[in-house]
């Protein structure tokens, strides 16, 4: 149906509590990418909230393919949301609640080429999110507040830090190049296990680029030779300014450009 005609009960627990999970898939050249990885993560997020995904992977894959086909979608995104369903507002899980599940296909404008050529400018901001950022839950308030702060300050995004060190960005994973080593935050409850991050780490290893998964401090990030963010929407993007200071020589670095090329090949 047309997205405008779809209705959701006002007492859906996604609205009342953020009691649900989501996934975002990329459509590139008429095809959905890394479907299985996204569905595996969806099942993980759902199970952490004691939610059951109501369809098999095959069925969800078929719905997505049909949406792409019906909409003649070439380049865009597929947003999938699963909530516990609608019930009068009580905090504990209601006894009789049917999960709400929907999928929206949208065309999306390409990411401006200038972002890849010139790189992004970011602010460093404290990570004010909850302690289960490994779950792709609907609760994104701290993410959107940090993003808004960055936009208001005239930059593109924010990279977040906790007492452990750099975690991730508001909607992407963060990688750095320090002394030739591609370094990124280890998986754990503090970050989303980014699918693009994983693909980039594998590409790097195959290309003999050394990789380390460890926390780095704010100071290490600021002094890094290269800073990269990755996500499903914009793939591999250089960060060339952090808190107003240039990263390296202020231009996308050699390893960043290599990873951008390798990732572009992967999408072909």
Active site residue 218: no
Please list, in sequence order, all residues whose beta carbon lies within 8 angstroms of the beta carbon of residue 180, skipping any fewer than 6 positions away: 209, 210, 225, 255
Minimum CB–partner distance for residue 96 and ligand PLP (Å) = 32
- Single out the residue of 53, 80, 175, 192 in contact with ligand PLP (rule: CB under 6 A): 192
Interface stretch with ligand PLP, choices 43-51, 65-73, 109-117, 170-178 (CB under 6 A): 170-178
Answer for which of 100, 171, 176, 237 binds ligand PLP (CB under 6 A) is 171
Contacts with ligand PLP in 5-34 (CB under 6 A)? 24
Q: Note whether 172 binds ligand PLP by CB under 6 A.
A: yes
Among the residue ranges 53-61, 81-89, 105-113, 194-202, the one whose residues contact ligand PLP (CB under 6 A): 194-202
Instruction: Pick the catalytic residue from 31, 66, 136, 206.
Output: 136
Segment contacting ligand PLP (CB under 6 A): 50-58, 105-113, 146-154, 191-199?
A: 191-199
Task: Report the distance separating Cα 248 and Cα 179, nearest Å.
Answer: 12
Residues in contact with 30: Cβ distance below 8 Å, sequence separation at least 6, in sequence order? 68, 73, 74
Q: Decide: 191 and 165 in contact? Cβ < 8 Å.
A: no
CA 4 to chain centre: 25
Classify each residue of 206-234 as buried b or exposed e, where b means 16 or more C-beta atoms within 10 Å of its C-beta: eeebeeeeebbeeeebeebbbbbbbbbeb
x-marked contacts with ligand PLP along 210-249 as a string, rule CB under 6 A? --------------------xxx-----------------
Contact indicator for 6, 106 with CB cutoff of 8 Å: no
Is residue 194 a contact point for ligand PLP (CB under 6 A)? yes
Segment contacting ligand PLP by CB under 6 A, of 84-92, 115-123, 164-172, 239-247? 164-172
Least Å distance, CB 106 to ligand PLP, is 15
What are the CA-CA distances from residue 153 to residues 136, 166, 203, 221 (Å)? 27, 20, 34, 20
Buried-exposed string 66-80: b where 16+ CB fall within 10 A, e elsewhere: ebbeeeebeebbbeb
Contact residues toward ligand PLP (CB under 6 A) are 24, 168, 171-173, 192, 194-197, 230-232
What are the catalytic residues?
136
């Amino acid at each position: 149906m047309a997205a405008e005609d779809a209705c959701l009960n006002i007492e859906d627990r996604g609205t009342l509590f953020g009691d649900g999970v989501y996934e975002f898939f990329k459509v590139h050249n008429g095809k959905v990418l890394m479907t299985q990885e996204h569905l595996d993560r969806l099942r993980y997020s759902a199970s952490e909230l004691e939610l059951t995904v109501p369809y098999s992977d095959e069925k969800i894959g078929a719905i997505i393919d049909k949406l792409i086909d019906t909409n003649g979608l070439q380049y865009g995104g597929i947003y999938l949301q699963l909530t516990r369903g609608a019930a009068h507002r009580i905090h504990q899980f209601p006894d009789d609640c049917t999960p709400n599940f929907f999928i929206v296909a949208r065309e999306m404008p390409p990411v401006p080429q200038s972002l890849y050529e010139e790189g992004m400018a970011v602010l460093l901001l404290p990570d004010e999110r909850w302690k289960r950022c490994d779950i792709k839950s609907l609760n994104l308030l701290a993410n959107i507040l940090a993003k808004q702060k960055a936009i208001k300050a005239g930059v593109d995004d924010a990279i977040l830090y906790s007492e452990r060190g750099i975690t991730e960005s508001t909607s992407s994973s963060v990688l750095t190049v320090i002394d030739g080593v591609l370094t990124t935050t280890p998986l754990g409850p503090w970050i989303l296990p980014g699918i693009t991050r994983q693909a980039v780490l594998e590409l790097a290893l195959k290309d003999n680029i050394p990789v380390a998964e460890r926390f780095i401090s704010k100071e290490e990030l600021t002094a890094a030779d290269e800073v990269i963010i990755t996500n499903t929407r914009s793939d591999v993007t250089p960060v060339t300014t952090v808190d107003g200071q240039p990263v390296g020589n202020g231009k996308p670095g050699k390893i960043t450009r290599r990873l951008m090329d390798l990732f572009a090949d992967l999408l072909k």
